[in-house]
Amino acid sequence: MNSSMTKYHQNLEKPSAIKVDNLNFSWMADKKVLQACSLEVPQGEFWMLLGNNGSGKSTLLKLLTGLLIPDSGTAAIANTFGLVFQNPDLQLVMPTVAADVAFGLVAENLSAIEVRERVRSALDAVNLLDLERRPIYALSGGQKQRIAIAGALARNCETILFDEPTALLDSDTQIELVRQVQNLVRTQGITALWVTHRLEELDYCDGAFLLEDGRVTAQGDPMTMKNKLLQKQY
């Protein structure tokens, strides 16, 4: 058994941060989106979910977050979680960087000092502490995505879901962002599930799933998955 597959089998022995079991969902009775879909993401790891448009990737994230209710089966996240959208402009609501990261802390009734500490720590984790006072409109697309991630970190989210976060970014910024998340998984101990169709992003994760016709048809070591998909001209 090669080293990459050994690592994959070890992953399965860890507690699951995300677990989907025999999940079924349809918009209409005759139009099934997910069919007997099952997957598990080990705690503290970075996994990717691949699939063509219409395969059910974004629908699965909505089921995990409770935005949709399944027809049957279960979709659960073990710990606190955050969601980073494809378009960060849909979730950044305050005028400045620090204010936006602090926005999600309102419900916790923290002191001003505690809020500032959480905000600064989260911004430091995504290497944007020097932009604390910058207006949101003055940020690049990649910086906006990192602010969205900082918002989840400030709320102490242990799992973060990413819905094609590089779709609107240029190629250099795409790789910068995926490397940033890889580093956060390693240094902060978070769990990440990243939806994508870009095979080059597989170079930075611990494992990957392939979703086809509403079910997981392959999973495992990212390089093995990448090679299979390249052979299929995915």
| Across 219-226, average pLDDT | 92
Q: Which pLDDT score, from 0 to 100, does residue 7 have?
A: 43
Q: Which pLDDT score, from 0 to 100, does residue 233 have?
A: 59
Residue 82 lies in a domain: no
Instruction: State residue 213 phi and psi, 5-degree precision.
Output: 50, 40
Can you give the length of the chain in residues?
234
121 vs 51, which has greater pLDDT? Answer: 121
Instruction: State residue 222 phi and psi, 5-degree precision.
Output: -65, -35
pTM of the model: 0.90
Tokens (6 digits) for 26? 């349809």
Residue 203 lies in a domain: no
Q: Which amino acid is at 95?
A: P
Residue 102 lies in a domain: yes
- pLDDT tens digit string along 73-103? 999 999 999 999 999 999 999 999 999 999 9
| Across 20-33, average pLDDT | 90
| Across 30-36, average pLDDT | 89
Q: Which pLDDT score, from 0 to 100, does residue 83 have?
A: 95
- pLDDT tens digit string along 165-176? 999 999 889 999
Using CB atoms within 10 Å of the CB of residue 54, give its burial: 0 to 12 exposed, 13 to 18 middle, 19+ buried.
exposed
Residue 108 lies in a domain: yes
Per-residue DSSP letter, 88: G
Domain count, the chain: 1
Tokens (6 digits) for 207? 């494992």
Residue 179 lies in a domain: no
| Across 120-140, average pLDDT | 96
Residue 220 lies in a domain: no
What is the residue range of 137's domain? Answer: 94-157
